[in-house]
Structures are given as C-alpha cells and as structure tokens.
Amino acid sequence: MTAQRQVPNHIAIVMDGNGRWATRRFLPRVAGHKKGVDALRACVRHCGDIGVKVLTVFAFSSENWNRPAEEVSGLMELLAMALSREVPQLHKEGVRIHFVGDRSSLSEKVRHGLAQAEQVTAGNTRLAFNICFNYGGRWDIAQAAAGLAARGEAITEASLDRAMALNHVPDPDLLIRTGGEMRISNFLLWQAAYTELYFSDKLWPEFDAAAIDAAIADYAGRERRFGRTSAQLSGGDRRKKAA
C-alpha cells in the first residue's frame, strides 16, 4: 500500500452523513447513527492495524442538543450501549479511550460510563482514541482560557495549548470530513492550525477501510510547510511528517 510509509500519526474525523444515509433508505435518522457506530468500529480497527497512533472523532457537538429530542436521546442511548458493548473489545485491542468535551450536562449514567471506559483502558498504548462528545472548539478555547484566568496564569500560546482538552496528544496531521460539506463546524479549532484537510462525498456509514486508505494516500502527497517556503523544506529543513 503506497500510503503505508506516510501514515499520519493523528487522524481526526467529522463523521457526517449518518442522517442522510438513513433518510435515503426511509429509515429513522437514529438508524444512520447505529450504522455510524459500525463504521466507527471498523475505522478504529483499521487505524490501529496500519499504525495510526491517535484517532479523534466528533461524536456529538455542543450544537447537537438543538436536534429533535428523539434524535438526541437516541444518540445518548447509542453512546451508553456502545460503551457497554465495545469497550471490552477495544481494551483487548490495546485502545486507550478518552472522552473530550463538557460532561456537566450529561446524565449521571452516561458520565459514569465515560469514566469507566477511560479507567479500564487507561494503560493501553496501541491507539489513543479520543471521542469528542458534547464538544465544541470554541468551548475548548474558552474553558482553557477560563482555567488559566482562575489560576492567575498568563495567557500565552503555550499555556493555552497546555490547558486545552486534547493536551494529551499532538495536534492532528489529517482531518477528514465525510458527507460532502466543506467546513470545520467548530471541531478542533485550535489544534487544526496546520492540519491537512480532506473532504469526502461519501456518507460516514459508507466510509470504509479503502476510503481511509484513499484519504491517507492523498495526505501522503501533500507538502506540509508549517509556514515555511517550499525551498526551505527541500533544502533539508523539512519538518518531519509526524508518522
């Protein structure tokens, strides 16, 4: 596989298109999210197999509370179900789970499930799997700044970076968005400053291992300059791809 030698260290994904996948089949939207969990399971496995070290997905945004109540409760139930069903297997596969987002408005049951999943998998090192749930990039920047202010610390790029919810992993190398829309939608606003973006028309439930490989092959052909010139990079000053 051509992409194999330049596998990104950290892939982030906006898993869009579950609703359309379901609606096209005359199914309720929640059926699309269920299928989305299947696609996510396969994605985690594939990323682990090909040597990706960090996978971060957008599972529920701060704005998703505005969806119909039935869909919101369906997503909460799905999360609770996925936790009890998937965590033991993910643990066996060496996956460390980390939830990123504002937990204060989640139910006690869901919060307990998140903490359990993190605790059980805390010692795993094969793949760090960050699930952004009730997350927003602006929320993250604001909570980081508020934390620094409350502790009387200076607000600098470095201190904010350390206070951000994803401070346990390096910034993403590749951000994939499925479902045909070309925007970031409040995902990883701080961390995606130099991330390569890849947009796919495929709906998330259809985004399989071959589609991940195609995104990685595209990424492998990019020149990451981090603000430098192309000539600087070819003169041996090239910043190593984080693979």
Residues carrying an active site annotation: 16, 64
What amino acid occupies position 203?
L
Nearer to ligand FPP, 3 or 37 (CB): 37
* Residue with the two structure tokens 């991940």: 212
- Region near ligand FPP per CB under 6 A, out of 72-80, 119-127, 138-146, 167-175: 72-80
Exactly one of 16, 140, 173, 196 binds ligand FPP (CB under 6 A); that residue is 16
Tokens of 112: 């307990």
The answer to whether 207 contacts ligand FPP (rule: CB under 6 A) is no
Instruction: Identify the CA nearest to 79 among candidates 64, 94, 95.
Output: 64
Nearer to ligand FPP, 68 or 152 (CB): 68
The answer to whether 48 contacts ligand FPP (rule: CB under 6 A) is no
The answer to whether 52 contacts ligand FPP (rule: CB under 6 A) is no
Nearer to ligand FPP, 172 or 220 (CB): 172
The answer to whether 15 contacts ligand FPP (rule: CB under 6 A) is yes
Q: Which residues contact 88 (CB under 8 A, 6 or more apart)?
A: none
Q: Considering only residues 162 through 181, tell me which ones interact with ligand FPP, judged by CB under 6 A.
A: 179
The answer to whether 100 contacts ligand FPP (rule: CB under 6 A) is no
The answer to whether 113 contacts ligand FPP (rule: CB under 6 A) is no
Nearer to ligand FPP, 5 or 25 (CB): 25
Shortest distance, position 74 Cβ to ligand FPP, whole Å: 9
How many Å apart are CA 68 and CA 224, to the nearest integer?
41
How many Å apart are CA 43 and CA 37, to the nearest integer?
10
How many Å apart are CA 205 and CA 82, to the nearest integer?
16
The answer to whether 200 contacts ligand FPP (rule: CB under 6 A) is no
CB distance 89 to 43 below 8 Å: no
Nearer to ligand FPP, 25 or 228 (CB): 25
Tokens of 177: 């968005």
CA distances from 33 to 129, 204, 210 (A): 19, 9, 21
Tokens of 124: 């795993």
How many Å apart are CA 35 and CA 103, to the nearest integer?
25
- Region near ligand FPP per CB under 6 A, out of 77-85, 109-117, 161-169, 227-235: 77-85
Residues interacting with ligand FPP, by CB under 6 A? 15-20, 33, 36-37, 40, 59, 64, 75, 78-79, 82, 179, 204
